[in-house]
């Protein structure tokens, strides 16, 4: 077996530290900061995307040779499809947020905000 990596798993430790930090930052942003709700959502979704990248590149060795281009190619398209499915559903079903059967006002709000979430998702990739 080759020794292309260090004896000491530096990559993993950095990845772990980063993901813990990012989680704490996300929790703080959501629960303790005074940002407007829309900005909170954008910020924490962006943090989630970064964390996903850490897992894929630092833990899952997505670019490792021996597995060709298929992994990152399919992962990239999977994220595009995910964005289409989530944003597209919200876009298509957005009439449901206002034309609800006797629904209250809070549906309007949540609809608008969920929208932002998906938009961010879209930009993130």
Partner 1 sequence: MQLDEFFVTGEPLIYAGMVSIVLVSATVIFLLTYFKRWKWLWNEWLTTVDHKKIGIMYILSALAMLFRGGVDALMMRTQLAFPDMNFLNSQHYNEVFTTHGTIMIIFMAMPFLIGLMNIIVPLQIGARDFAFPFLNAVSFWSFFFGALLFNLSFVIGGAPDAGWTNYAPLAGSELSPGPGINFYLLGLQLSGIGTLATGINLMVTILRMRAPGMTLMKMPIFTWSTLITTFIIIFAFPILTIALALMTIDRIFGSHFFTLTGEGLPMMWANLFWMWGHPEVYIVILPAFGIFSEVIASFAQKQIFGYKAMVGAIVIIAGLSFVVWVHHFFTMGAGAFVNSVFSITTMMIAIPTGVKIFNWLATLYKSKIIFSAPMLWSLAFIPSFTIGGVTGVMLGMAAADYQYHNTYFLVSHFHYVLIPGTVFACFAGLIFWYPKMFGHKLNERIGKWAFWLFLIGFHLCFFPQYFLGLDGMARRIFTVGPEWFTLNFVSTMGAFLMGLGFIVFVHCVIYSFRFSPRNIEGDSWGYGRTLEWATPTPIPKYNFATLPEIESHDALIDMKEKGQTTFDRDKLEPIHMPSYTGQPFIMAAIMFFASFALVFEWITLAVIGLAGIIVMMIIRSFDYDEGYHIEVDEVIETEKKARGMTDE
Partner 2 sequence: MSEQKTDDVALEYSTHQGQMNIVGFWIFLAAEISLFSTLFATYAVLFGRTAGAPEPAELFEAGTVLIMTFILLTSSFTCGLAIHNMREGSLKGLMIWLGITLLLGLGFLGFEIYEFVHYAHEGATIGSSAFWSGFFTLTGTHGVHVTLGVGWMIAILIQLKQRGLTAVTTRKVFIVGLYWHFLDVIWIFIFTSVYMIGMVV
DSSP H/E element including 3: none
Instruction: Provide φ and ψ at 103, rounded to 5°.
Output: -75, 160
By CB under 8 A, is residue 85 in contact with partner 1? yes
Q: At what angle do helices 37-54 and 10-31 cross, to 10 degrees?
A: 170
Taking alpha carbons only, the member of 125, 112, 124 closest to residue 36 is 112
By CB under 8 A, is residue 14 in contact with partner 2? no
Residue 18 touches which of partner 2, partner 1, none (Cβ within 5-8 Å per kind): none
Q: Which residue has the tokens 């995307």?
A: 49
* Residue 28: both structure tokens together: 């703080």
Give SS3 for 105: coil
By CB under 8 A, is residue 76 in contact with partner 1? no
In angstroms, what is the minimal distance from the CB of 99 to partner 2?
13
Task: Tell me the per-residue interface mask from 43 to 82 with partner 2, x by CB under 8 A, - otherwise.
Answer: -xx-xx--xx--xx-xxx-x-xxxxx-xx--xx-xxx-xx
Closer CB to partner 1, 9 or 103, in the complex: 103
Using CB under 8 A, list all residues that contact partner 1. Answer: 68, 70, 74, 77-78, 81, 84-85, 88-89, 91-96, 99-101, 103
């Amino acid at each position: 077996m080759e020794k292309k990596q260090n004896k000491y798993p530096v990559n993993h430790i950095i990845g772990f530290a980063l993901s813990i930090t990012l989680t704490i930052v996300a929790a703080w942003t959501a629960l303790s900061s005074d940002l407007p709700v829309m900005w909170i959502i954008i910020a924490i979704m962006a943090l989630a995307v970064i964390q996903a990248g850490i897992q894929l590149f630092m833990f899952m060795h997505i670019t490792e040779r021996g597995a060709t281009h298929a992994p990152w190619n399919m992962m990239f398209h999977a994220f595009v499809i995910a964005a289409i499915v989530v944003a597209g559903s919200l876009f298509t079903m957005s009439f449901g947020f206002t034309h609800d059967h006797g629904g209250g006002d809070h549906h309007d709000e949540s609809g608008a905000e969920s929208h932002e979430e998906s938009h961010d998702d879209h930009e993130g990739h």
